[in-house]
Structure 1
C-alpha cells in the first residue's frame, strides 16, 4: 500500500456513556434514536438514549414508516 506524503492517519475514539446494544434486532431502532439525538442535541443527547426507550420508539418508528408508505 502506498502512503501519501503529508497525510495523517485519523484517530477513532468512542465516547463513554453511550449505550451499546447486544441484540441485533434492536440495533436499527437504536441507530435511528442515536442519529436523531445527535442531530438535536449532540453527544449529550446520545448519552440520554437508553435501551428502555426501545419498545416505545419501535412503535413510533413503525407508525412513521406506515404513514410515509400510505401517503
Structure 2
C-alpha cells in the first residue's frame, strides 16, 4: 500500500508547469518525490515520464518507466 500511495498526489500537475533544470519536491500520499525537467524530459526520482497529461475523470495521469519506492530520490 505504501508503494501505491507513493504514486498518488492530491494536486493536479501538468507537465508544462515544470521549468527546465529546476528541482521540485512533490508531496505524494506517502512521501516526497523529486521532479526535474532535463532536455525536455521529466524525471520523477530516477524514473522517466514516458507519457504525460492523460486526462481522467478524477485527475491527470503521467506514466513512468519505474516503480517509485519510498525514500528514493534523484542523485545530484
Higher strand proportion? 2
Q: Point out the structure with max Rg over C-alpha.
A: 1
| TM-score, L = length of structure 2 | 0.25
Higher helix proportion? 1
